[in-house]
Structures are given as C-alpha cells and as structure tokens.
Amino acid sequence: MKVNIHEVCPRDGFQSMPAFDKDTKVKIINRLVKCGFHELEVTSFVSPRAVPQLKDADEVISEIDRSQPVTLRALVPNERGLERAHALGIKKLKLMLSGSDSHSLYNANATTFDALERYRSVVKKATTYNINMTGSIAVAFGCPYEGDLPVKRHEEICDKYEQLGITKVSLADTTGMGNPHNVSKILRHLMKSFPHFTFTIHLHNTRGMAFANALAALEEGVKDFDSSTGGIGGCPYAPNASGNIATEDLVHGFEEMGIDTGVNLDRVLDVARYLEDIFPDQVDSFLLKAGKAKSLHKAPGRQRIK
Amino acid sequence: MKVNIHEVCPRDGFQSMPAFDKDTKVKIINRLVKCGFHELEVTSFVSPRAVPQLKDADEVISEIDRSQPVTLRALVPNERGLERAHALGIKKLKLMLSGSDSHSLYNANATTFDALERYRSVVKKATTYNINMTGSIAVAFGCPYEGDLPVKRHEEICDKYEQLGITKVSLADTTGMGNPHNVSKILRHLMKSFPHFTFTIHLHNTRGMAFANALAALEEGVKDFDSSTGGIGGCPYAPNASGNIATEDLVHGFEEMGIDTGVNLDRVLDVARYLEDIFPDQVDSFLLKAGKAKSLHKAPGRQRIK
C-alpha cells in the first residue's frame, strides 16, 4: 500500500513560530524538498499584517530549490495572494475555509459560505492561469466553539466547492478534536456522496489520537496526509491547538506497518533535528525523543542488582 | 461496547519516580480507588534493594481504603513477595516476565524460561492461598535489544503459563515499539491458539501509536487495558522507554468513540492534576494540556485583524 505525504511545516509551522529570517526559511525548505514528499506546502500568500511571520513569502519562494520532483503548493486567501503565487510560478494552491461559522468569523471575518463565495473570483482567475486549486474544511472533525459539525455541513461545503470546479478537499482536524469513530463516519459519508473527489486529511495530535485518526482515514480510502516535520504548527485562531502530527511520527508509523510513504525518514529526522537546534521550544515529536523502533540497542547483559 | 481499565500508576508510576513519602502514596491511591477502574495495580512486592521507591509497599497497602469495588492487584517476583501480598490480603497477583532473553537477563537475571520456571513454586503456593495469578510478557511487541519477537515465542510462553495453571496474560509494549500491524498480528494468532485465555494489553506511547495500538487490540477482541494516570511510569531496564499511555487519554479516546470504560474521567483528571502539582516533571498527558474535546470554548466573534 502507498500513501502520499504532504509536508506543511513551511506554512503551518513557520506561521505559528516567532518570525525568523528569510535565509533560514530557504535552508529549511531546501532540505525538505529532498525528503521525497508528494507535496510541500511552502507558504501562505496572506497579508503581512495578518501573518507577519510569512511576510517574506515572495522572496523565500523566489530563492528556494525548484529542481526537485515535489509539487509545491501554497495557501491563498484572495486574488492578491493568487497573483503573488502566479508571479512565482506556483501551480497548486489551497483555499482556507472553516467548516463552522464561528471559527470562520474569527479566522476569516466571514461566515463559511460568505468566505466560500468570496473565493469564486479567485478560482475563476486561477483557471485562466492553469493553477490547480484545492479546497479545505478546517475544524472538520470538531469545532472548539460549536462541537461536532453535522456531516450535512461537510456535504453542503463540498457541493459549493464542486460548483466552483474544485474536487480536491483537505479535511482538517484543526484543534485535534477528532477521534477514529467520527473521522470514519464523516469520511465514509463523503466518499460515498462525492466519489469523484480526492480528500486529504490534516491531523493535529492534540489529544493523542492523530495516528489512530490517520489509520481510520486510510481505512476509508484516504491516501493523502498532511504532516509537519518536527510537529511544529498549530492554529493561531483556535484555543488549545497543539502541533500538527509530526511528519517523522506519521511516516515512521506507516512504514512500520508496511505502508509505503515514499519519504526518506532519515532525511526528515535530519531536518527535524535542524529545526530543534534553531527552535528548541517549538519542536516536538516522538521519534526525535525515542528514535526509530528498528534502531536496536546493545543488550546490557545480566542485571547489576542480584 | 465495554472495556476494562486497569490503573497501574501506583506501581509502574511510583517505581519510576524519585522515592517519596508513604502518606502521599496512600493519598494518591485513595483517590484512584474511587475512579471506577476494573483493577488497580497498587504496588510491587519486590526487594527494596531492587526498587527502593516501593520499599514501603506493606505499610502503604495496610493503610489504603479497601472499601471500594475495585480489584487490587500487585506484582510479585518470588515467594517472599507472595507472602507479603498474602499477609495483606491481596487476592490478585501478577508475575513479571520478559518475552526476550536479553531483556529478561537484564531485568530478572535469568532467561525467560528460567524465570518462568522459578515461578512454579510461587504459583503453587498462591493456589493454596486462593490468590488469582496473572502472567505477563514484557517487550511482547518488540524488544529494544532483539527487535520483533516471533509469535512462536509468545505461544511457547503461553504454553508454559498454561502448564502452571495461568490463563490470564498481560502483553506489554514495554518500550513502545509496537504498531497496529504487529499488535493485530500477534493478538490474532494468540486469540486463536489460546481461545480460553484472557489477554490484557499494556501500552506505552513512546512513538505516538499507543491509542492506535489499543484500537487494534480492541478489534482483535481484547477488553482489558492497562494505563497510568498522568502518563507516569516507564521501564527502568529499557532504553528510551517513555511513559505509559495516560489513563485520561485512553479513557477520553474510548469514551469519545462511544466505548464505555466505566471510569469517571473527571476524577481521573483530578488525580492527574494532583500528581502534576507534586511531580511537575513526571506527569504528561494530552488531556491535561488540551482538556476534553467536549469542553467547548466561547466563540470570540469576528477576527480582530480586518
């Protein structure tokens, strides 16, 4: 079995850390492009006022290594962002959308459907630029203000996406409220109602269930998984949000189970250690602490205490 | 669906922390007995030289609240331990055994089968005392020195246990090397070969897969799960061992999925916070940091940045 890993550290991670210099960003991304990811979310072309950590997105993208066989994608909130991405030759963009109105109002200053409607012109122009668009549904497996979203809500959002010509949607467990039961339930429903869609899943390990949720999604047929090297990243507009599932933990878990990720785990761990050196308080993953299950130790012999 | 939670903090947790006073131990246990656990592993009757943290086991057990409807169990390594447990009226005991020879040599100064053989007299005497005995297999899902154990090994150990009259066995992922694939594989095999056995599973979240492993075990028919409030505990004789899966995380995950644990999660969280106050560096759980998924927040309204 084969899955696709989408690395989001340069967007989801960088935006949740204190701002740091462009050259370091380029260095990190240039290591990530060589890890064997299916896609790499390199930045978000948002207003520097909203996310000052990514204000140098254009310079960063213009300097990174573009020679590797990984699809670069970015987030855009509006036409201005689209133009910036287009100028830099990014061919895959993702729209951010909250599944609940209360999260959307705080995150995007508009209800879910108002925010979606505002994307109409962005998507139209992207088509003329031959840019591949992906939708998303944040708080898909639980909103910190509203609780569980009824699956009817996901369906309505997917319907609207389809009307815009979008059939790729990322479902995010933004504040880690999901559990394998509701992940399965929602995906089973959506895969049946929208069999021509491709769903990506974006997990946070807030309550220790991220890997179990990934397996539940896999079981329902999802093949595309977001993760962040070093586990960095969260949601600036969600209370108690903790880090994304760490790429090294997700890849290690899958590979231990015999599921092919195409990712070079040792390279990912090298990047994670590099990140840890720079941001010791932001990086957190199981693999960084414990090492791979396959890395055995020398047997110590008989017990010292007799 | 109903599962049984076996709390191990007073044994697995206490033995891995710096030694502390008897009265605090009694206080912690007296809070745990009211949480609704199926079983509570209250101590280990080992040599004070081997585990000085538990040297006051007899005094602790003689002072705790015995009025609650929870089965108290303890670990015993030998006849001396059995006598101590019997004198205190403990009716359920567990034998510690490593599944691999190298782990067993370091842990018990004997190979697996030599260690098992030494238990013969303990089990015989326990029968005359009408004490219920449980076996165990540490490093069942991976040994840090030998890697994966072949399932033939588990079978041989279970055969020997059966010869001793023991049909309850706890399988421990002592250093968190297990993954849902090998947990399923081993359990499926054992449940088929030993259908009259009851298997308990004891998980560590060393590599982020504990909850997924619990679900894999549940899927194979396991109903009994060890966990430790506050996630404290490890294995003193295993490198890179990290904490047990936290009771609050396991119970929360199960309950979110509609699986009845019979445990009062709020009481467990109270104990976890109490432990955190006393041992801030030893306690670690997702729930303590993030709170329950069902604990919603007040919607903040529109975004501040327009």
For residue A135, CA distances in Å to A10, A93, A128 come to 19, 9, 18
Is residue B13 pLDDT above 50, yes or no? yes
As a residue count, chain A comes to: 306
The pLDDT of residue B234: 73
The pLDDT of residue A305: 52
Phi, psi of B174 (to 5 degrees): -55, -40
The pLDDT of residue A195: 98
Is residue B146 pLDDT above 80, yes or no? yes
Instruction: Give per-residue pLDDT as tens, A182-191.
Output: 999 999 999 9
Which of B102, B249, B298 is facing A299, going by the closest CB pair? B102
Whether residues A303 and B210 touch (CB distance < 8 A) is answered with no
Kindly state the tokens that stand for A191: 């895969």
For residue B99, CA distances in Å to A177, B10, B108, B141 come to 36, 23, 12, 9
Mean pLDDT of B133-152: 97
Whether residues B239 and A144 touch (CB distance < 8 A) is answered with no
The pLDDT of residue A239: 57
Mean pLDDT of A249-270: 98
Please list every residue in chain B whose beta carbon sits closer than 8 Å to the beta carbon of residue A286.
205-208, 242
Mean pLDDT of A63-90: 97
Please list every residue in chain A whose beta carbon sits closer than 8 Å to the beta carbon of residue B109.
302-303, 306
DSSP for A176-192 reads S---HHHHHHHHHHHHH
The residues near A197 (Cβ < 8 Å, ≥ 6 apart) are A158, A162, A167, A168, A169, A190, A191
Can you tell me which residue has the tokens 């491709």? A198
Average pLDDT across chain B, whole number: 95
Q: Which of A54-58, A164-168, A234-238 has the lowest mean pLDDT?
A: A234-238
Interface test with B, best of A141, A209, A250, A285 (most B CBs within 10 A): A209
Instruction: Give per-residue pLDDT as tens, A113-135.
Output: 999 999 999 999 999 999 999 99
What share of chain A has pLDDT > 70, as a percent? 96
Number of H helices, E strands in chain B: 12, 8
Whether residues B293 and A210 touch (CB distance < 8 A) is answered with no
CA separation for the pair B294, B282 (Å, rounded): 26
- Give the model's confidence band at A164: pLDDT under 50 very low, under 70 low, under 90 confident, else very high: very high
Whether residues A305 and B256 touch (CB distance < 8 A) is answered with no
- The residues with which A260 forms a beta bridge, in sequence order, are A2
Which of B147, B253, B285 is facing A209, going by the closest CB pair? B253
Instruction: Give per-residue pLDDT as tens, B189-219.
Output: 999 999 999 999 999 999 999 999 999 999 9
CA separation for the pair B139, B257 (Å, rounded): 28
DSSP for A144-187 reads TTTBSPPHHHHHHHHHHHHHTT--EEEEE-TTS---HHHHHHHH
CA separation for the pair B237, B106 (Å, rounded): 7
Kindly state the tokens that stand for A240: 């108690």
Which of B146, B257, B305 is facing A181, going by the closest CB pair? B257
- The residues with which B75 forms a beta bridge, in sequence order, are B44, B94
- Pick the residue from chain B with its C-alpha nearest to A141: B293
Which of A106, A249, A294 is facing B208, going by the closest CB pair? A249
Kindly state the tokens that stand for A33: 């492009």
Is residue A237 pLDDT above 60, yes or no? no
The one-letter amino acid code at B262 reads G
Which of B49, B205, B207 is facing A208, going by the closest CB pair? B205
Distance in Å, alpha carbon of B137 to nearest chain A alpha carbon: 18
Question: What's the ipTM?
Answer: 0.95
Is residue B305 pLDDT above 70, yes or no? no
CA A91 to chain CA centroid, nearest Å: 17
Is residue B304 pLDDT above 50, yes or no? yes
Is the Cα torsion angle A229, A231, A235, A236 positive or negative in sign?
negative
Which of B105, B142, B294 is facing A293, going by the closest CB pair? B142
- Pick the residue from chain B with its C-alpha nearest to A110: B302
Whether residues A106 and B302 touch (CB distance < 8 A) is answered with yes
Whether residues B105 and A176 touch (CB distance < 8 A) is answered with no
Interface test with A, best of B96, B105, B257 (most A CBs within 10 A): B257
- Give the model's confidence band at A233: pLDDT under 50 very low, under 70 low, under 90 confident, else very high: confident
- Give the model's confidence band at B75: pLDDT under 50 very low, under 70 low, under 90 confident, else very high: very high
- Closest by alpha carbon to B221, among B198, B247, B254? B198
Q: Which of A13-17, A40-44, B166-170, B261-265 has the lowest mean pLDDT?
A: A13-17
Q: Which of residues 148-177 of B touch A (CB under 8 A)?
A: 176-177
**H-helix or E-strand spanning residue B157:** helix B151-163
- Give the model's confidence band at A235: pLDDT under 50 very low, under 70 low, under 90 confident, else very high: low
Mean pLDDT of A145-169: 98
Whether residues A207 and B306 touch (CB distance < 8 A) is answered with no
Phi, psi of A64 (to 5 degrees): -75, 160
- The reply to whether B207 touches chain A by the CB within 8 Å rule is yes
The one-letter amino acid code at A112 reads T
Can you tell me which residue has the tokens 């169990």? B73
Distance in Å, alpha carbon of A67 to nearest chain B alpha carbon: 33
Does A158 qualify as catalytic in the annotation? no
- Closest by alpha carbon to B125, among B167, B98, B85? B85
- What chain A holds in terms of domains, given with CATH numbers, is 4-290 (3.20.20.70)
Q: Is the distance from CB of B287 to CB of B47 less than 8 angstroms?
A: no
The pLDDT of residue A107: 87
Instruction: Give per-residue pLDDT as tens, B237-262.
Output: 455 556 899 999 999 999 999 999 99
Mean pLDDT of B23-52: 97
**What residue spans of chain A are helical by DSSP H?**
22-32, 57-63, 79-87, 101-108, 112-118, 120-128, 151-163, 180-193, 210-219, 247-256, 265-278, 286-290
CA separation for the pair A262, A115 (Å, rounded): 35
The pLDDT of residue B216: 98
Interface test with B, best of A96, A240, A292, A297 (most B CBs within 10 A): A297
The pLDDT of residue B306: 46
- Pick the residue from chain A with its C-alpha nearest to B255: A179
Instruction: Give per-residue pLDDT as tens, A254-263.
Output: 999 999 999 9
What share of chain B has pLDDT > 70, as a percent? 96
Strands B39-44 and B168-172: what pairing? unpaired
Tell me the whole-structure pTM to 2 decimals.
0.96
Mean pLDDT of B144-168: 97
The pLDDT of residue B254: 98
Can you tell me which residue has the tokens 């505002």? A118
Rounded (10°) CA dihedral B101, B105, B108, B109: 140
Mean pLDDT of A276-282: 91
Please list every residue in chain A whose beta carbon sits closer than 8 Å to the beta carbon of residue B106.
299-303
Please tell me chain A's helix, strand, coil percentages from 3-state DSSP, rounded to the nearest 5: 45, 15, 40
Instruction: Give per-residue pLDDT as tens, B288-301.
Output: 999 999 999 998 88
Whether residues A106 and B300 touch (CB distance < 8 A) is answered with yes
The residues near B163 (Cβ < 8 Å, ≥ 6 apart) are none
Better-predicted residue by pLDDT, A242 or B199: B199
Mean pLDDT of A264-290: 94
CA separation for the pair B40, B271 (Å, rounded): 14
Kindly state the tokens that stand for A105: 């109002």
Can you tell me which residue has the tokens 């329902």? A220
Q: Which of A10-14, A258-262, A278-282, B247-251 has the lowest mean pLDDT?
A: A278-282
The pLDDT of residue A238: 52
Kindly state the tokens that stand for A70: 């990984």
The pLDDT of residue A300: 86
Whether residues B146 and A296 touch (CB distance < 8 A) is answered with yes
Distance in Å, alpha carbon of B115 to nearest chain A alpha carbon: 13
The pLDDT of residue A42: 98
The pLDDT of residue A306: 46
Q: Is the distance from CB of A294 to CB of B177 less than 8 angstroms?
A: no
As a residue count, chain B comes to: 306
Interface test with B, best of A303, A305, A306 (most B CBs within 10 A): A303
